[in-house]
Structure 1
Amino acid sequence: MPPKGTVFLAVPLPPSFLLPRSCLQPSKRAAQQTRSFGIKSIEPPKLNPYNNAPGLPGLLSTPRAAYNRKIQADVLPLRTGALAIKKGMTAIYNQETGERIPCTVLQLDSNQVIHHKTMKEHGYWAVCVGMGRKDPKNITKPELGHFSAQEVPPKRYLQEFRVRDEMGMLSVGEQIKASWFLDGQFVDTRADCKGKGFQGVMKRWGFGGQPRSHGHSLSHRSLGSTGNGQGGGSRVYPGKKMPGRMGGQRVTVQNLKVLQTDDEKGIVLVNGAVAGPKGGVVMIQDALKKAWPDAPPPPKPAKVAEEARKAVGAKLGSAPQEKLKTE
């Protein structure tokens, strides 16, 4: 305590730009004490960058939640698809207008339902479709037992087709013919495109190459400069187009119109080009972005109940190899 009679003089403070920064900003300890005593901070509350609107539920990362989001977004087809072999391309002519229409010939080879994936056991609805023929002596014993229990012949190619709900499930053993797709409807095709191997930038990305003038010996098809100077960080940016492996990836071609179908020969004629070489396997399924011209026939109700699964499980130990159906 100062002694009695002490006189205090009011000294004006210097300008703010002359004061140290510690006098202008509160310390971290003072800010922590302010929060601990329950005093409202002047800082705005931090918002979730993935859900800024108040009252909205957070996104769930479970497989069931992801499946429900797909159903709400209408990205799952109602019916199963089929497997086909690409035979090549041809063209047909419109008799009324004389227009030449390029098309791809796809042939279905003994498509048959092999297995089911249910929501209760696997978390989603799917139909496993098999195509082609395979000698029983060339497959493993687990696969042989699976085909024997399902009472279907061995298939060379197997593929799952996801559907929206159990209404799109077909019974095990039911065949899918070319008439499964209606004339005039639109389909989506998925196949592996042709693999080109390791290629340069001119073939892979369409670069123009180096000039053909003096001083460019043996560098006409080369990449050239890849990195920036000092202003760009003196480095090569990620994603730079360079030589590398070309092709061989899965390609989806959407909204191809079905021109003709032939049940006897198993041929589906679609308008336009389909990825992949001749003889490649192509997945065909109803288009997601186009509607049917006519309502498709309702599929037969599939046996996906507990009784059907128990019957299949009972055959696993007693199905001999001689009972395999061969076509």
Structure 2
Amino acid sequence: MNGLIGKKIGMTSIFDAAGRNVACTVVELGPCVVTQVKTEETDGYQALQIGFGEAKEKNTTQAQIGHFDKANTTPKKRVIEFRDFNAVEKAAGDTITVDEVFAEGDTINAIGLSKGKGFQGVVKRHGFAGVNDATHGQHNRQRAPGSIGAASYPARVFKGMRMAGRDGGRRVKVKNLKVIKVFAEKNLLLVRGAIPGHKGAYVILEK
């Protein structure tokens, strides 16, 4: 599987050939540095480990610094491994640009950390409809979760019951997004639709 690490810049919109306004996400993708090449002989499987984003040396462990030095590169903030990377033949220390992996019209998957929304009720968190009936004295039940348990048996609430709680801030994968435009000279990718995360968040795009 091929892919790169990038940073979400924000959203914009363009007009397609039919004159429709299409919402798009702008991603700064690479250039990424190959930090390690894993092979069947040494590691038992084939993979390409790549890094993106400059990290301060004081915030990097000695083991990591040694690992990056072996690849003749500076410490990176994000390091991701892609198994069976077959776009191009690369060695440790080489760079991979956006146009080497992605092209216009490609179907890709985006992985990122969703925005944290704090403590939320069941209507926003799980899509509950609430009571939806303000008559018969139900003046404060419109967004209530309703019953959560059974009778004297089993006399407990089962694990996994959908209730209010902290929402967002979790790893999300959005599949089957389409690449609209590749700006190779600026290391930018224009993707149709939304990608998880806030502006400036690190994202993984794979195909």
Q: TM-score, normalised by structure 2?
A: 0.86
The Cα of 1:233 is off from its aligned counterpart by 4.7
The equivalent of 2:59 in structure 1 is 138
Query: Which residue in 2 is equivalent to 1:117?
Result: 38
Which structure has more helix as a fraction of its residues? 1
Verify the 8 A CA contact 2:3 2:205 in the aligned structure 1.
yes
Q: Which has the higher contact order (CA 8 A, sep 6+)?
A: 2
Correspondence for 1:92 among 14, 33, 40: 14
What is residue 54 of structure 1 aligned with on the other side? none
2:3 to 78, 81, 93: 81
How far did residue 198 of structure 1 move? 2.3
In structure 2, what residue type is equivalent to 1:267? L
8 Å CA contact 2:30–2:98 kept in 1: the answer is no
Deviation at 1:245, TM superposition (A): 2.3
CA deviations over 1:90-112 (Å, ceiling 9, x no partner): 11112x42122221111024311
CA distance, structure 1, for counterparts of residue 12 and residue 116 of structure 2? 23
Q: Give 5+ residue unaligned stretches, structure 1.
A: 1-76, 287-327
Match for residue 174 of structure 2?
253
Aligned letter for 1:206?
G
Tell me the equivalent position of 2:47.
Answer: 126
Which has more strand, going by share of residues?
A: 2
Letter in 2 for 1:140: T
Cα deviation for residue 129 of structure 1 reads: 0.8
Q: 1:174 corresponds to which residue?
A: 94
Q: Percent identity?
A: 38
CA distance, structure 2, for counterparts of residue 140 and residue 228 of structure 1: 52
Q: Which residue of 2 aligns with 1:198?
A: 119
Distance (whole Å) between structure 2 residues aligned to residue 242 and residue 142 of structure 1: 43
TM-score by length of 1: 0.57
Partner AA of 2:81 in structure 1: E
Which range moved further: 220-229 or 112-121? Answer: 220-229
Structure 2, unpaired ranges of 5+: none
Aligned-residue offset at 1:164? 6.4
1:242-264 CA deviation, whole Å, 9 max, x = no partner? Answer: 11221222211122111111122
- Count of residues in Structure 1 that have an aligned counterpart in Structure 2: 205
Encode CA deviations 1:48-73: one digit per residue, 9 max, x unaligned. xxxxxxxxxxxxxxxxxxxxxxxxxx
Q: Which residue does the alignment assign to 1:39?
A: none
Q: Please tell me whether the aligned partners of residues 48 and 85 of structure 2 are also in contact (alpha carbons under 8 angstroms).
A: no
Query: Which of these two proteins has the greater Rg computed from alpha carbons?
Result: 1
Cα distance in 2, alignment partners of residues 197 and 122 from structure 1 = 41
1:282: Cα distance to partner? 0.9
2:178 maps to amino acid: K
Match of 1:222 in 2: 144
User: Cα RMSD between the aligned structures?
Assistant: 2.4
Aligned to 1:38: none
Between the aligned partners of 1:270 and 1:220, the Cα distance in structure 2 is 38
Match of 2:69 in 1: 148
In the alignment, the residues of structure 2 paired with residue 108 and residue 285 of structure 1 have an alpha-carbon distance, to the nearest angstrom, of: 11
**CA distance in 2: counterparts of 1:185 and 1:152, whole angstroms:** 30
State the secondary structure of the residue aligned to 1:124. coil
